[in-house]
Amino acid sequence: MAKLDRYKISPRMVGRTALVTGGASGIGRATVERLAYEGANVVIADLQTALAQELRVELKAQGCEHISVASCDVSDEEQIVAAVELTKRTYGGLDILVNVAGVSSPSRQTATEMDLQEFRRVLSVNLEGSFLFIRQALPLMVDKRFGRIVNVTSTAAVMTSDRTTPAYSSSKAAIAGLTRQLVYAYSRFGITSNSVCPGHIKTPLSLRLGEESLRARERTIPVGRIGDPEDVAAAIAFLSSDEASFITGQMLVIDGGQTTVINYGESHGE
């Protein structure tokens, strides 16, 4: 938490209301912290209600008073509607929607190994959940003639590897397409729609891989380190701000340069 104290002096989100899905941990948590420290009212929409409540208490102790929690399974439309209604009822509207919540398969599977039920489960959370939140948020943003939608995808949307699955890659690529599609109909209402594509980030899931695996990943990243959730949150905060009013339909890759290079093994210079 201490590393974020400097953001308290940048109150560019005062008067704005944000809803962050998957906001109890990882990138979602860092995003909630960043937006709250910049002055936003924030609703944490997450199925991990206890973790979300702990974060709310921590932020209130840091002086961020306007934090709410909505217990929400993003694959359940009724719970999504309830989360957006809570936001509207508590803060009078919704200015910023950040879709972070997502799942992947418990094991790496090829297209012939993955059954349809698992494929649909991943798309239901990652793609349909994002779509349903967007559909609920848009009327509130249209009414205010202002909105910021930021969808968290993945470098899996633009590249492939042995560490991802057909369902996960398909869902993340589809979210990027959904993000762009919103531009045509909603830009005239002052609404922007962008996505961020994180590469290897220190999240609770990635840390379970172990130190040896993380070191191997670091060797493939030009900047020489795994990303922090705060690296992604900083980009999300910028895209959510007034400063990004002329940026829409874009996909920002946050991966330390990994997708710009082809690693053929041991480096021997240029």
Percentage, residues of the chain above pLDDT 90: 71
Secondary structure tally for the chain: helices H, strands E: 9, 7
The SS3 call for residue 212 is helix
Amino acid making up residue 75:
S
Query: For residues 124 and 173, what is the distance between their CA atoms, to the nearest angstrom?
Result: 14
List Cα–Cα distances, 81 to 55, 87, 132, 135, 226, in angstroms: 23, 10, 8, 10, 36
Query: Domain spans of the chain?
Result: 11-196+227-252
Domain 11-196+227-252 -> CATH class: alpha beta
Largest CA distance in the chain: 60
Task: Tell me whether residue 158 is exposed, middle or buried, using C-beta atoms within 10 angstroms of its C-beta: 0 to 12, 13 to 18, 19 or more.
Answer: middle
Instruction: Please give the pLDDT value at position 106.
Output: 77
Mean pLDDT, rounded, of the chain: 90
Residue 268 has pLDDT above 50, yes or no: no
Mean pLDDT value across residues 216-236 = 91
Compare 114 and 1 and report the one with higher pLDDT. 114
Mean pLDDT value across residues 2-17 = 72
Count the helix, strand and coil residues of the chain and give each as a percent rounded to the nearest 5: 50, 15, 35
Mean pLDDT value across residues 43-49 = 96
Query: For residues 234 and 236, what is the distance between their CA atoms, to the nearest angstrom?
Result: 5
Instruction: Please give the pLDDT value at position 85.
Output: 98
Mean pLDDT value across residues 136-152 = 98
Cβ 136 vs Cβ 81: under 8 Å: yes
Query: For residues 236 and 32, what is the distance between their CA atoms, to the nearest angstrom?
Result: 10
Nearest to residue 142, comparing CAs of 207, 186, 178, 193? 186
pLDDT band of residue 263 (cuts 50, 70, 90) is: low
pLDDT band of residue 242 (cuts 50, 70, 90) is: very high
List Cα–Cα distances, 259 to 22, 219, 238, 262, in angstroms: 25, 13, 22, 8
Residue-wise pLDDT for 166-204, tens only, equals: 888 999 999 999 999 999 999 999 999 999 999 989 887
Active-site residue set: 168
pLDDT band of residue 211 (cuts 50, 70, 90) is: confident
Task: Tell me whether residue 4 is exposed, middle or buried, using C-beta atoms within 10 angstroms of its C-beta: 0 to 12, 13 to 18, 19 or more.
Answer: middle
Residue 209 has pLDDT above 80, yes or no: no
pLDDT band of residue 109 (cuts 50, 70, 90) is: confident
Instruction: Please give the pLDDT value at position 7.
Output: 57
Kindly state the DSSP code that residue 64 receives in the 8-state scheme.
Answer: -
